[in-house]
Amino acid sequence: MALAGIRVIELAGLAPAPFCGMILADFGASVIRVDRTKAAMALDTQARGKRSVALNLKTPEGVGILKKLCVQSDVVLEPYRKGLLSRLGRHGDKPYSPLNLVADFAGGGLTCAFGIVLALLERTRSGQGQVIDASMVEGAAYVGSFIWKSRAIGMWERGRGQNMLDSGAPFYDTYRTADGKHVAVGAIEPQFYLQLLRGLGLDVADLPPQMSPDGWPELKRVFEGCFATKTQAEWSRIFDGTDACVTPVLSFDQVSSHPHNKERGSFVRDRGEEESPRPAPVLSRTPADPCLDRDPRIGQHTREVLEEYGFKSHDVERLLAAGAIEHNVPEAKL
């Protein structure tokens, strides 16, 4: 397979990193998942093809083993906040996701790009090319591996809109604020949930159990009433700097000016003063350098490209005269 011989160390986490590790394992990489010692059970539902080692990373010995594994591997996957690994040893009118991200872009474009990279990598060993068959339907299903596999542990046994991650759970939903805007809530883990309740001024003893679906309708009504008492800006000030997983739902015009995105430089502005997301992921040594020119006119580079590929000037003129090609010079911006 394309990644045969590639060694991957995956520090156990949730959803994105395990999915990435599964992809690499699926294409032949040797993926070692580093689990915590004394963990009750593995929460990785995307462990296909992986192997597991359990390390106590709170001990110098555990850290030393991890370092040895890493320096003898090709890839390290870590799902933590940036910089944490380096410190080891020390319904209604709510906003909805634009779901064509799943098929068109994630299931289609992204998996196609990934397939191309795999084929290029494999070509360095075999010297041969290959066809990448990137089906959007199959790619979307693959991206949804977490959903498919999580049915076995009861996460998707209820009807649509009644499960934990599809707005059924009151602690994983969006809420209208006093000014008609919205905030997003994603406080699944108990420690985050308690901070959510603290910010809302609620006592856990007065509420239904967090993980009891029978109590979710009542809990959702309580949350709706609370969030409706303050504006989005007021809730942002309350929850900023906490791990309550409460964030404002931003408009397109607000996204690039959000402090998090400004700090990371997550958006770039082209010469036409239009903003767009910068390429991701960010590579430490060879990062992307996106072109900031205006989008080309149709046929803007016909002549230079053909000449670059060996066509003589008279050949280009002949093809232009025959109507076989078109060359359009952009209008000058004075």
CA distance 11 to 18: 9
Per-residue confidence (pLDDT) for residue 90, from 0 to 100: 45
Cross-sheet strand order for the sheet of 172-176? 172-176, 182-186, 246-248
Instruction: Tell me what pLDDT residue 109 has.
Output: 86
Higher-confidence residue: 217 or 268?
A: 217
Concatenated DSSP letters of 268-284: EE-TTS-EEEPPSSPPS
CATH topology of domain 7-87: Rossmann fold (3.40.50)
pTM: 0.76
Q: What span, in angstroms and rounded, lies between the C-alpha atoms of 257 and 262?
A: 6
- For residue 115, the SS3 value is helix
Calculate the alpha carbon distances from 266 to 39, 97, 317 in Å.
Answer: 36, 20, 44
Q: Would you place residue 71 in the very low, low, confident or very high pLDDT band (cuts 50, 70, 90)?
A: confident
Query: Is 240 among the catalytic positions?
Result: no
* Domain(s) of CATH 3.40.50.10540: residues in the chain: 7-87
Residue 180's closest CA among 110, 116, 132, 249? 249
Residues of the chain with CATH 3.30.1540.10: 172-249
Which of 104, 173, 240, 243 is catalytic? The answer is 104
pLDDT at residue 292, as a whole number: 80
What is 172-249's CATH number, 3.40.50.2000, 3.40.630.30, 3.40.50.620, 3.30.1540.10?
Answer: 3.30.1540.10
Residue 69 has phi, psi (to 5 degrees) of -60, -45
> Where are the alpha helices (H) located in 72-215, listed in sequence order?
100, 111-126, 136-143, 145-150, 190-200
At 140-196, the pLDDT tens digits run 999 988 888 888 777 888 888 888 888 899 999 999 999 999 999 999 999 999 999
Read off the amino acid at residue 219: L
Mean pLDDT is lowest, of 136-140, 201-205, 231-235, for 136-140
pLDDT over 90 at 221, yes or no: yes
User: Is a pLDDT exceeding 60 seen at residue 320?
Assistant: yes
With 90 as the cut, is the pLDDT of residue 25 above it? no
Listed as own residue / partner, the contacts of 283-292 with beta carbons closer than 8 Å and 24 or more positions apart are 292/268
Sign of CA dihedral 289, 294, 298, 304: negative
Q: How confident is the model at residue 82 (pLDDT cuts 50, 70, 90)?
A: low
The string of pLDDT tens digits covering residues 251-309 is 988 999 999 899 999 998 887 678 888 888 888 888 888 878 777 777 888 888 889 88
Name the average pLDDT for the chain: 86
Number of neighbouring beta carbons within 10 Å of residue 151: 12
pLDDT confidence of residue 287: 85
